[in-house]
């Protein structure tokens, strides 16, 4: 373990140690007048002599120590290398924890917060991210064993690459799977569209095709708005509700950040996505005429157009544990220092109580 001061400049507060010394040096003991015979017959008058005197030594030491500890607390003392080096066994959900209750190891769940196996995890999370997080939080010399069932859920596209070699143990079982997300396209309302957009909507089976002045249903979540002028309030309300709006190339848009979501055969954008606070705003980049956009005559145009409103299908997350064993070789993470200020605060509080007891006791001299 290596003790350090994260803010050593705060030790300048040690100059305050002069205050208790000055207070105790300036202290005047209690004086009482005493009757004495006349001194006028004395030939020489004695000169009083003063010399520094420090009284109340226990109180002085307590005050000096209290100020020194306060300065040390401001300097943020910490220690590196104080982390627990007990080997860790991490269990994925779906593994029987009673089989791994061996002593000499710290057993925990691969779940948010890494709870102990003696407690049921409050929530589940992506296994790859949790493995990487656990590897980053453990000191470099700690041995790590990960116990997983035969089939993993929640895997991403890349095998975890860790800073250490882990013992990847596979046991019979399967992780509980989350219910599949629905990816069906929403019902699309078409307003003021060109005949090509209207024909594509009719090919989808959409019946909500009308002119620009026709109101929208209250549950509308997707709109193809191909009309002149800025977006009206009722269309902006669809965006504010998290919906999707597709506009023509002439619709004025305030934002400048765009991403191409549909390109032609030459790689030029046909439809771009525009950043908005909520929802999805899409816009054609060309006039909806065959001369400017030959894709309008493509038999695949209705399907490509409807795909703009369809949520992306979730990536596969189910994988065999034998094919997902982590590899070693990632750069090591710097471990944070253990903060000693909470423990130092307890010592300061105890010393303050001692100082108050010494300063307020009944049988002491006049207080400095």
| pLDDT on residue 35 | 63
Any domain includes 40: no
pLDDT of the chain along its 368 residues, tens only?
A: 577 788 888 888 888 888 887 777 766 545 556 666 665 555 555 565 556 666 678 888 888 899 999 999 998 888 766 566 788 899 888 887 876 656 678 888 888 888 888 877 656 778 888 899 889 888 888 899 999 899 888 788 788 889 889 999 999 877 776 655 555 556 788 888 778 888 888 887 777 888 888 888 888 888 888 888 888 888 889 888 888 999 988 888 876 678 898 999 888 999 999 888 888 899 999 998 999 999 999 999 988 888 888 766 556 678 888 888 998 888 877 766 778 889 899 999 999 999 888 888 766 555 44
Q: Measured between alpha carbons, how far is 246 from 294 in angstroms, rounded to an integer?
A: 19
Q: Are residues 196 and 299 in the same domain?
A: yes
**Cβ atoms < 10 Å from Cβ of 75:** 21
Any domain includes 95: yes
| pLDDT on residue 367 | 47
Any domain includes 75: yes
| pLDDT on residue 256 | 66
| pLDDT on residue 352 | 92
| pLDDT on residue 168 | 93
Q: Are residues 70 and 142 in the same domain?
A: no
Q: Are residues 210 and 168 in the same domain?
A: no
Q: Are residues 275 and 196 in the same domain?
A: yes
Any domain includes 222: yes
| pLDDT on residue 79 | 78
Q: Are residues 265 and 300 in the same domain?
A: yes
Any domain includes 24: no
Alpha helix (H) ranges present in the chain?
Answer: 18-25, 57-74, 127-137, 195-204, 233-240, 301-307, 341-360
| pLDDT on residue 179 | 59
**Cβ atoms < 10 Å from Cβ of 60:** 17
| pLDDT on residue 337 | 72
Cα 69 from chain centre: 33
Q: Are residues 197 and 266 in the same domain?
A: yes
| pLDDT on residue 270 | 92
Q: Are residues 344 and 323 in the same domain?
A: no
Long-range contacts of the stretch 233-238 (C-beta < 8 A, 24+): 235/191, 238/279
Any domain includes 25: no
Helices 18-25 and 57-74, interaxial angle, to 10°?
160
Provide CB contacts within 8 A for 106, sequence distance 6+: 84, 86, 87, 88, 89
Q: Are residues 202 and 116 in the same domain?
A: no
The number of domains in the chain is 3
Q: Hey, what are 199's tokens?
A: 């024909």
Q: Are residues 120 and 11 in the same domain?
A: no
| pLDDT on residue 359 | 83
Any domain includes 344: yes
- Closest by alpha carbon to 281, among 308, 301, 305? 308
Query: DSSP assignment, residue 361?
Result: -
Any domain includes 153: yes
Q: Are residues 79 and 228 in the same domain?
A: no
| pLDDT on residue 53 | 63
Q: Are residues 299 and 207 in the same domain?
A: yes
Q: Are residues 160 and 120 in the same domain?
A: yes
Domain range for residue 362?
Answer: 1-16+54-83+338-368
């Amino acid at each position: 373990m290596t003790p350090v001061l994260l803010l050593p400049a705060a030790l300048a507060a040690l100059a305050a140690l002069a205050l208790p010394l000055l207070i105790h040096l300036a202290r005047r003991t209690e004086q009482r007048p005493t009757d004495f015979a006349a001194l006028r017959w004395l030939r020489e008058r004695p000169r009083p002599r003063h010399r520094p005197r420090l009284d109340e030594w226990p109180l002085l030491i307590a005050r000096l120590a209290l100020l020194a500890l306060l300065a040390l607390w401001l300097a943020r003392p910490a220690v590196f290398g104080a982390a627990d080096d007990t080997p860790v066994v991490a269990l994925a959900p779906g593994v029987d924890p009673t089989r791994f209750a061996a002593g000499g190891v710290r057993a925990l769940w691969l779940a948010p917060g890494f709870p102990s196996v003696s407690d049921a995890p409050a929530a589940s999370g992506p296994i790859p991210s949790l493995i990487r997080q656990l590897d980053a939080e453990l000191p470099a010399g700690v041995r790590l064993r990960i116990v997983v069932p035969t089939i993993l859920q929640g895997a991403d596209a890349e095998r975890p690459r860790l800073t250490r070699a882990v013992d990847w143990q596979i046991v019979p079982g399967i992780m509980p799977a989350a219910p599949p997300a629905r990816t069906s396209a929403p019902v699309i309302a078409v307003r003021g569209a060109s005949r090509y957009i209207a024909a594509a909507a009719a090919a989808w089976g959409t019946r909500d095709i009308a002119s620009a002045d026709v109101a929208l249903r209250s549950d509308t979540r997707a709109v193809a708005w191909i009309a002149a002028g800025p977006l009206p309030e009722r269309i902006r309300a669809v965006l504010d509700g998290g919906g999707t709006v597709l506009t023509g190339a002439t619709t004025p848009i305030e934002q400048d950040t765009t991403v191409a979501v549909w390109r032609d055969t030459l790689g030029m954008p046909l439809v771009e996505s525009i950043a908005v606070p909520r929802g999805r705003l899409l816009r054609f980049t060309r006039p909806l005429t065959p001369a400017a956009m030959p894709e309008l005559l493509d038999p695949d145009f209705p399907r490509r157009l409807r795909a703009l409103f369809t949520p992306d299908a979730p990536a596969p997350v189910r994988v065999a544990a034998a094919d997902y064993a982590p590899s070693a070789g990632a750069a090591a993470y710097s471990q944070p220092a253990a903060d000693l200020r909470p423990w130092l605060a307890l010592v300061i509080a105890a010393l303050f109580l001692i100082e108050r007891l010494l300063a307020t006791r009944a049988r002491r001299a006049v207080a400095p």
